[in-house]
């Protein structure tokens, strides 16, 4: 097993990587659905906290393996079996999301996360044992050690009183995020820039797809119930504009800077937590906006459920890509105004359509260009 060439031509996502990503569809869907149900039940605060925690586990497990697979991808029997174990882990995690949302019991989620992490530890130990480069072997051992220590801490959390789990999660956050930074100090792994960008792009499409599905199911339920109205029509039209413009905005700015240094790669890669989580929450918000129009619920909550995730997505795209790409003061001002207008739409009873118009206007004003095909 040897590290791959960072300048390898035609390095694209493999069918196994695509299958691996599809397993995360279930976890993303469960997280978004649980957030939707929590908002509908009047428990937006606890629901949002559980969503943030679950989505971190989903995103972090996916991200760690994605960068590993970009540097070490042998595609032999043992490698495929380790991927299979990780796929089982994410399905177990997804199965535990409803329990976490309903009662705060995160034991099943923690178990699924542990299954994924054990498989990743085995991957890094194999890389350390079989890679002929001593410097990268040391990096691989650091990864394995750091992940193992964090996982032991997560499992130990299960033996603590449940009301302390939230505090443990926040304490563990910097430790988990610090493992790759600490490990890569001894020698950078050979991840492939174009491959990484493609993998992130595909996951973005998957998360947007989940938002499309969530919004579609909500609209379908309303239409089947005979609740079609001009307000629902505004929500439907707004949802289409929001989802399409989210795709346009994301793919208009390829992050060409990530190949420069690990520092900027980490900056961009870590920042995608906010991109992915906001896109998933956006679907839950659009679904609740439909519920609000049909059932006559509190409009300001529905407005906030739509506007806040979209504002977070725009801010993340601005901070983690636009600013680094140095598009100029005009583009920065356009993003700032768009975010302010989106947040201001919380005062509007049905903000989906105005927000969609704002996002389309932003794409036109910044003259977004399509991402090159080789990405």
Per-residue pLDDT of the chain (375 residues; tens, 9 = 90+): 677 767 777 778 889 999 999 888 888 888 988 998 888 888 888 889 889 988 999 999 999 999 999 888 778 898 899 999 999 999 999 898 888 877 778 889 999 999 999 999 999 999 898 876 777 889 999 999 999 999 999 999 999 998 888 888 889 999 999 999 999 988 888 888 888 999 999 999 989 987 787 777 767 766 776 666 777 778 888 888 899 999 999 998 888 777 657 788 888 999 999 999 999 999 888 888 888 777 766 678 888 999 999 999 999 999 998 887 777 788 889 999 999 999 999 988 777 889 999 999 999 888 754 444 444
Helix axes 262-295, 15-40, angle to 10 degrees: 40
Q: How far apart are CA 205 and CA 36, in angstroms?
A: 20
| CA-closest candidate to residue 116, choices 89, 148, 92 | 89
pLDDT at 132: 60
pTM over 0.85: yes
159 DSSP 8-state letter: T
pLDDT at 372: 43
- CATH code, residues 193-365: 1.20.1410
pLDDT at 280: 92
Cβ–Cβ < 8 Å for 1, 72? yes
pLDDT at 271: 93
Q: Give ranges for CATH 1.20.1410 in the chain.
A: 193-365
Q: How far apart are CA 284 and CA 266, in angstroms?
A: 28
Q: How far apart are CA 112 and CA 163, in angstroms?
A: 21
Q: How far apart are CA 259 and CA 265, in angstroms?
A: 7
Q: How far apart are CA 371 and CA 375, in angstroms?
A: 7
CA distances from 55 to 27, 31, 130, 347, 354 (A): 8, 7, 33, 28, 28
Query: What is the sign, positive or negative, of the torsion defined by CA atoms of 127, 132, 136, 137?
Result: positive
Helical residues (DSSP H) of the chain, grouped into ranges: 15-40, 44-71, 77-103, 107-130, 134-157, 165-184, 193-224, 230-251, 262-295, 299-317, 323-325, 329-344, 352-365
**Per-residue tokens: 142:** 């650091």
């Amino acid at each position: 097993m040897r590290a791959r060439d960072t300048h390898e031509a035609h390095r694209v996502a493999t069918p196994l990587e695509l299958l691996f990503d599809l397993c995360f569809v279930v976890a993303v869907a469960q997280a978004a659905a649980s957030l939707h149900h929590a908002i509908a039940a009047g428990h937006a605060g606890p629901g949002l906290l559980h969503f943030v925690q679950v989505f971190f586990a989903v995103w972090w497990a996916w991200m760690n393996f994605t960068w590993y697979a970009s540097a070490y991808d042998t595609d032999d029997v043992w490698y495929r079996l380790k991927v299979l174990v990780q796929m089982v882990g994410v399905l177990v995690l997804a199965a535990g999301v409803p329990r976490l949302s309903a009662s705060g019991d995160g034991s099943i989620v923690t178990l699924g996360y542990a299954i994924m992490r054990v498989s990743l530890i085995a991957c890094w130990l194999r890389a350390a044992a079989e890679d002929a480069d001593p410097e990268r072997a040391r990096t691989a051992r650091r990864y394995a050690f750091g992940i193992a220590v964090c996982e032991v801490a997560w499992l130990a959390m299960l033996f603590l009183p449940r009301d302390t789990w939230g505090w443990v999660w926040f304490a563990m956050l910097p430790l988990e995020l610090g493992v790759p930074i600490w490990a890569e100090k001894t020698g950078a792994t050979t991840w492939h820039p174009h491959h990484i960008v493609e993998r992130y792009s595909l996951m973005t499409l998957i998360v947007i797809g989940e938002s499309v599905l969530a919004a579609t199911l909500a609209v379908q339920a309303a239409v089947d119930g005979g609740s079609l109205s001009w307000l629902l029509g505004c929500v439907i039209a707004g949802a289409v504009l929001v989802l399409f413009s989210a795709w346009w905005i994301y793919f208009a700015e390829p992050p060409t800077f990530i190949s420069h240094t690990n520092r900027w790669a980490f900056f961009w890669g870590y920042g995608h937590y906010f991109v992915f989580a906001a896109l998933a929450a956006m679907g839950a918000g659009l679904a609740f906006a439909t519920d609000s129009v049909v059932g006559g619920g509190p409009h300001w909550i529905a407005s906030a459920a739509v506007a806040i995730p979209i504002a977070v997505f725009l801010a993340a795209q601005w901070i983690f890509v636009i600013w680094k790409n140095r598009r100029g003061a005009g583009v920065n001002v356009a993003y700032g105004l768009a975010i302010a207008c989106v947040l201001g739409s919380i005062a509007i009873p049905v903000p989906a359509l105005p927000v969609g118009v704002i996002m389309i206007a932003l794409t036109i004003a910044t003259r977004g260009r399509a991402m090159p095909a080789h990405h």
